[in-house]
A = this chain, B = another copy of it.
Amino acid sequence: MDLAFSPAEEAFRAEARAWLQANVPNPPLPSGDTKDGFALHLEWERQLFDARYAVVSWPEEFGGRNASLWEWLIFEEEYWLAGAPQRVTQNGIFLLAPTIFEFGTAEQQQRILAKMASGEEPWCQGWSEPNAGSDLAGISSTATRDDTNGGWRLNGQKTWTTRGAFCTHLFGLFRTDPEAERHNGMTYLLVDLRQSGITVRGVERLDGDEGFAEVFFDDAFVPDVNVLGEVNKGWGVAMATTGSERGLTLRSPGRFLATATKLIELAKSLPDTATPELKDRVTQAWIDAHAYRWQTFATVTKLVEGGHTGPESSMVKVFWSELDVRLHEIALELLGPHAELIDGEFAHWMKGYQFALSGPIYAGTNEIQRNVIAERVLGLPRK
């Protein structure tokens, strides 16, 4: 058990910290979930990419640094500590990219990855449908064979597509075998949204931003080169991605450590309202953020040494999502009657609270995750 990072890792941390201090936008960018904010975020993503900080763990040929998992975690800690912007590319680089690395052809990797990471082609996730949320296997959007054009014709609807109104591409599951039941007969497709046959309608999120979209497919076309993995085997391909979503990559501990640190600062700045009972809860949240960090370090050690993560990732998802809500709840209690304000110096807490509330819902509700923990970690019976 060695708690020290290597000199090389510490040097990487120092370098990243210096670059971030010099380059992180100040004042902070507006929300990336509005049209204008999204564009500004893409500029930032481009800046990151040019400095090879966009996707540090990727191979150099796709814009990365071949960084180790440890270096990636270090970068994430520094990124959030520096107050750097939310990554609007995250659904591409954290959810789709691992799947492309695992299932994609060399051609797909060459064509897609660097443009995804640079923000030239931002990707959104087409998972949910109006009647398939928690029950993802219930999707009904179809992809029908179009032999003439060598590809597939899409029909149906996706919904709750994060930043779908601003992205150029969508990845998702479509039914390619109408006879097959539930988990079978789906194919993982990569869809260019910039074509006729696709209509995107922005949906206003809780916080007023147009962060969601409904995507309607009306004979939209996907060429064969944009099938990811095998036809009709999309469920297995997608599960690899949802594993990523719940696992290491989407919510790095650095993010919650940064929020916990800001919460401590907030409590110190409000001595009149920071009662001992609220400070006790601040401390508890700070402990939890550190618990998440060290639990992640244990997981990374296992991965680095050739191990795998399994259904334990459901515990991770439950933990960070509910921690994020708690961190913001405590902040709002500290703010008392100022909590409801969405202007002024404290507005980011209410904004952050609303964002945090999505955590227990998306990427598999926490109710579903707790079922997974009970059934697959503890071995309780499904029925």
Contact = CB atoms under 8 A, between A and B. Distances in A.
A277 interface: yes
A341 to B, nearest CB: 25
A280 B280 CA distance: 12
- Majority secondary structure of chain A interface residues (helix, strand, loop or mixed): helix
Contacts of A275: 276, 280
Nearest to A280: B277
A283 to B, nearest CB: 10
A287 to B, nearest CB: 15
A17 B280 CA distance: 42
Nearest to A277: B277
Interface in A260-284: 275-277, 280
A288 to B, nearest CB: 17
Contacts of A276: 275-277
A299 B276 CA distance: 38
Contacts of A280: 275, 277
A250 to B, nearest CB: 32
Nearest to A281: B277
A281 to B, nearest CB: 8
Nearest to A278: B277
A276 B274 CA distance: 12
A280 B275 CA distance: 10
A275 B278 CA distance: 12
6 contacts: A275-B276, A275-B280, A276-B276, A276-B277, A277-B277, A277-B280
Interface of A: 275-277, 280
Q: 4 closest Cβ contacts across the A-B interface?
A: A276-B276, A277-B277, A277-B280, A276-B277
